[in-house]
């Protein structure tokens, strides 16, 4: 007779068989599709990291397409009814522009190059916003030729120049970048909401108000809203709420003085992400709820209709979806430190040298029974500051030929990459559903030779 809860007639071994194991969770700060494999390897979106390194060489960058799309959808859910623009400066290629278009995001660009690449890929120009503290004539010509949606005015000197360049018979929608006097951001070099930096027009000294009055007097310009960007790597909501209050106050003064009600309010981006386990990141859903509540309350107090909200995430969409792969070239043990030198460095990721950013590289592709020890992962370039990760724990037997993977590498690495030492920028590989495909090829010596046209 079968025991209660058993299956009559089933073999005992079958009755004792455990359920299949659930997929192992992704390691912290890695894309959610990351799964551990045997021999110390990891797979992202079903593609082993060792396979990427073997097929495409190192250094190489992979981008999890599913993670990018999931972040886009998370923003659209959180900021329902708002306009979400992807900040192309974080990382742009044709595939990224295509993904943004398919997911329903707009685009925030800073140059004719970013604009041309996006629009020639098929991205709708009217969903593009052009930024920049020093827009060149080429930037403006491209904007008018391609029909960019809005241009953000960053200085008083732009107003007359922009108004004179508008094609006859048309009006250009513009916004004004306001400096609200708010200090926020993960490093002094990426705080842009204060008066002591190059961006925008100050609310404190009246520069913003004066520029707005001038813009309203230009028949070829249509002022549609205010813009601000407080900085980057902001991990708390308070600075954004303060910005809402100050900008709504300015909107109220514009209505009182000029009889104009502005329909848009752009709070920029700067939403912080975690680069290492345990670091803080900005809760996007919570930010959206609190910003919307603050905007509604401030507008009600000022007697204004609630403007359409615009946000501009870049790093928060691309960063967590990227992984950089490096091959160890040398291990050097000194009296006080162990240096692990890899085949990339500041030419493909200048952020540690610029901002002191810290990462959590990991050995992949082989197991190790050695205990961990603190090491400094350095690049191959002729700079003492070419350090990718200081005092990180790696197995004590790390050796030349090993493969290191660095998560959260999708933003401001290749977009800020250089040709230092003529090393060449790495390729970008998309992974999705167990397949990998090349998006951007590796920069070669032939590329450098082709640009060098004379003796």
Tokens of 380: 């191959």
Spatial contact of 348 and 424, defined as CB atoms under 8 Å apart: no
Spatial contact of 255 and 164, defined as CB atoms under 8 Å apart: no
Closest by CA position to 287, among listed 84, 68, 102, 26 = 84
15 torsion bin: left (phi>0), alpha (psi -120 to 50), beta (else): alpha
Spatial contact of 439 and 400, defined as CB atoms under 8 Å apart: no
User: Which residue among the candidates 72, 242, 299, 382 is catalytic per the annotation?
Assistant: 382
Sequence-separated contacts (24+) of 208-214 with Cβ below 8 Å: 208/176, 208/178, 208/179, 208/250, 209/250, 209/253, 210/156, 211/153, 211/155, 211/156, 211/159, 211/176, 212/176, 212/254, 212/258, 213/257, 213/258, 214/156, 214/159
Read off φ and ψ for residue 343, nearest 5 degrees: -85, 10
Spatial contact of 45 and 431, defined as CB atoms under 8 Å apart: yes
Sign for the pseudo-dihedral over CA of 274, 239, 416, 33 = positive
- What is the full DSSP assignment across 162-197? HHHHSPTT--EEEEEEEE-----SSSGGGB-SSSSS
Would you call 382 a catalytic residue per the annotation? yes
CB burial readout 418-438, b (16+ within 10 A) else e? eebeebbbbbbbbbbeeebee
CB burial readout 385-410, b (16+ within 10 A) else e? ebbbbeebebbeebeeebbbbbbbbb
- The count of other CB atoms within 10 Å of the CB of residue 354 is 15
Active centre residues (catalytic): 382
């Amino acid at each position: 007779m079968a025991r209660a809860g058993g299956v009559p007639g089933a073999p005992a071994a079958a009755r004792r068989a455990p359920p299949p194991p659930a997929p192992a969770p992704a390691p912290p700060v890695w894309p959610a599709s990351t799964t551990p494999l045997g021999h110390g390897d990891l797979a992202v979106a079903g593609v082993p990291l060792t396979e990427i390194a073997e097929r495409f060489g190192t250094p190489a960058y992979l981008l999890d397409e599913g993670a990018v799309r999931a972040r886009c959808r998370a923003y659209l859910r959180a900021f329902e009814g708002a306009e979400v623009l992807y900040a192309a400066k974080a990382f742009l290629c044709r595939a990224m522009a295509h993904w943004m278009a398919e997911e329903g995001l707009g685009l925030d660009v800073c140059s004719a190059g970013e604009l041309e690449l996006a629009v020639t890929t098929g991205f709708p120009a009217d969903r593009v916003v052009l930024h920049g503290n020093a827009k060149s004539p080429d930037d403006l010509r491209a904007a008018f030729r391609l029909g960019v949606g809005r241009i953000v005015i960053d200085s008083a000197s732009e107003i007359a120049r922009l108004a004179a360049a508008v094609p006859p018979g048309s009006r250009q929608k513009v916004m004004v970048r306001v400096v609200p006097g708010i200090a926020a951001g993960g490093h002094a070099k990426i705080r842009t909401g204060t008066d002591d930096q190059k961006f925008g027009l100050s609310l404190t000294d009246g520069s913003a108000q004066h520029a707005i009055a001038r813009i309203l007097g230009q028949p070829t310009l249509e002022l549609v809203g205010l813009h601000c960007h407080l900085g980057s790597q902001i991990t708390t909501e308070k600075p954004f709420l303060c910005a809402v209050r100050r900008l709504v106050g300015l909107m109220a003064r514009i209505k009182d003085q000029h009889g104009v009600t502005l329909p848009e309010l752009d709070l920029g981006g700067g939403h912080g992400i975690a680069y290492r386990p345990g670091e803080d990141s900005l809760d996007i859903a919570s930010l959206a709820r609190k910003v919307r509540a603050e905007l509604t309350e401030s507008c009600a107090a000022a007697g204004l209709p609630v403007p359409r909200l615009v946000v501009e995430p870049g790093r928060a969409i691309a960063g967590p979806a990227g992984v950089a792969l490096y091959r160890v070239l040398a291990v050097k043990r000194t009296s006080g430190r162990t240096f692990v030198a890899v085949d990339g460095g500041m030419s493909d990721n200048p952020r540690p040298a610029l901002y002191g950013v810290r990462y959590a590289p990991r050995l992949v592709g082989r197991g190790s029974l050695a205990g961990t020890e603190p090491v400094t992962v350095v690049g191959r370039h002729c700079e003492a500051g070419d350090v990718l990760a200081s005092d990180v724990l790696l197995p004590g037997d790390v050796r030349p030929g090993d493969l290191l993977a660095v998560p959260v590498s999708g933003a401001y690495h290749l977009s800020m990459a250089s040709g230092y030492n003529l090393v060449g920028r790495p390729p970008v590989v998309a992974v999705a559903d167990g397949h990998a495909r090349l998006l951007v090829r590796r920069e070669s010596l032939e590329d450098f030779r082709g640009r060098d046209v004379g003796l």
